[in-house]
Amino acid sequence: MTLTVLRNARLFDGFAEELHEPIDIVIEGNRIREVVDGQAPPLEAIEVDVGGRTILPGLIDAHVHLMAVHLRAANNLDYPLTLMTAKALPRIKAMLDRGFTTVRDVAGADFGIRQALEEGLIIGPRAFVGGPGLTQTGGHADHRRRTDSRLDIDRNANGVDWFARIVDGPEAMRQAVRDELRKGADHIKLMASGGVGSPNDSIDDYQFSEEEIRMAADECAMRGSYVVAHTYGSTAVQRAVKNGVRTVEHCNLIDEETAAVVRDHDAFVVPTLVCYETTEKHGDELGLSPYVMSKLRYVNDAGIKMLEICERAGTRMGFGTDLMGEMEFAQSHEFVIRARVQKPIDVLRSATSVNAEILKKSGELGTVAPGALADLVVVDGNPLADISLLDGQGENLPLILKDGRLYKNDLPTRQAEGVSRAVHSMAS
């Protein structure tokens, strides 16, 4: 099996307060075999001189929508799946360019995209997918026009569109969750409150009955899966985590009491602040309605306060972005926004080891340690001192490995005689 050695590096392993240096990392196949203090012995391997740069675990974004190729939901609904997929491919590749070697899709992508990425048919991050989000009638993902009075919605197994599935009542929830898990979902997304982009509800609404939420969580638990919940207000957040939800997304309107409830239920908040800041700048020109823009400004103003509240409460926070379509370019700016409140080390942990725990992949993802998957990013400089190095489109990332395969490498490289570099390249 081909070996790759990254030499002369500084290392953030996903946990430690300080960088380890100097470090060599030995990769065998798609796993890290050794992390060596100092210098590893000569090996029959591909050797890359990192030149004192910083190695991070591959970054993880726990809230993306791979298939949302337009900001306005109505535009996405008009696309056939084939065209939507073709438009999604460059967006998916660009995430890997920014150093995100793993993403969690929370409404839209299915097992087909996940498998295409696993097989190398398309280039992009490893994906954990949930299929369509589940919404109640009139809930956050019910984007039907008000003139649509159908009660017998049968499109996409009782769905509104490719991104959402209408569910009303505990038994309907049981059937829907079982069906999406049957179809290969890694997790289940519930729309448990009103939202910014939905036409028929308020941000402060809370949605689904407690029985419906608990049913989804119980069904997921029996399959070793979990529930993700779209939430904004404190009532929605508390109803979700008290009834078994593992991660609550957004949470911009959370209060001190609710942050403590999330903490005490071993749940996670996944902030997505960049989507509000970026979309508020561009929403008018992209045709968002005045009603949607007013909701957007409301939650944007509350976002930084939410970070401060969760920091004080000791609530564990993952890392997400939630950018749609034209806004996807700003994905890595979430690091800069989060650092307005949090220490860079804590933001980096959110995007590595904390998100790995959310995905139930601790020890495999989000860390640099023997046995972990070889997802690695090299940074020009020290992001613990200047986290803005991660902003942009990967300009400061001269090397990216995913699953042990060199996706990008602009560093000096030597390969031992007889060792084929091609078998270790994603471009092969």
Distance (Å, whole) CA 65 – CA 346 = 24
Question: In this structure, what is the dihedral angle of CA atoms 301, 304, 306, 312, given to the nearest 10 degrees?
Answer: -150
pLDDT score recorded for residue 157: 42
pLDDT at residue 422, as a whole number: 44
Question: Does residue 23 share a domain with residue 153?
Answer: no
Does one domain contain both 129 and 46? no
Instruction: Give CA–CA dist 69/84, Å, rounded.
Output: 7
Structure tokens at 272: 């997505």
Sequence-distant (6+) residues with CB within 8 A of 293 are 280, 283, 284
Please write the tens of the pLDDT for every residue from 101-131. Answer: 999 999 999 999 999 999 999 999 999 999 9
Q: What is the CATH number of the domain that holds 75?
A: 3.20.20.140
For residues 56-92, b (16+ Cβ closer than 10 Å) or e, as one string?
bbbbbbbbbbbbbbbbbbeebbebeeeebbeebbebb
Number of domains present in the structure of the chain = 2
Structural domain containing residue 258: 59-358
- What one-letter code names the amino acid at 168? D
Of 44, 121, 134, 155, the residue nearest 415 (C-alpha): 44
Is the domain of 155 the same as that of 229? yes
Q: Looking at residue 362, what is its pLDDT?
A: 98
**151 & 267 share domain:** yes
Say if residue 240 is in the same domain as residue 388.
no
**CB neighbour class for 52 (10 Å; exposed up to 12, middle 13-18, buried from 19):** exposed
Angle between the N-to-C axes of helices 273-282 and 290-313, in degrees from 0 to 180, rounded to the nearest 10 = 150
Please tell me the predicted confidence (pLDDT) of residue 151.
54
In this prediction, residue 311 carries a pLDDT of: 97
Which residues in the chain come in under a pLDDT of 70?
72-78, 145-162, 199, 417-428
Whether residues 287 and 348 fall in one domain: yes
Same domain, 318 and 377: no
| CATH code assigned at 416 | 2.30.40.10
Q: What is the pLDDT of residue 159?
A: 44
Report the distance separating Cα 46 and Cα 406, nearest Å.
11
For residue 394, which amino acid is it? G
Q: Are 377 and 58 in contact (CB under 8 A)?
A: yes
Give yes or no: residues 80 and 174 share one domain.
yes
Q: What is the pLDDT of residue 295?
A: 84
| Domain final residue pick, 358, 390, 413 | 358
Buried/exposed code over 136-165 (b: 16+ C-beta within 10 A; e: otherwise): bebbbbbbbeeeeeeeebeeeebbbbbbbb
**416 and 330 fall within a common domain:** no
Q: Do residue 249 and residue 389 come from a single domain?
A: no
pTM of the predicted protein model: 0.94
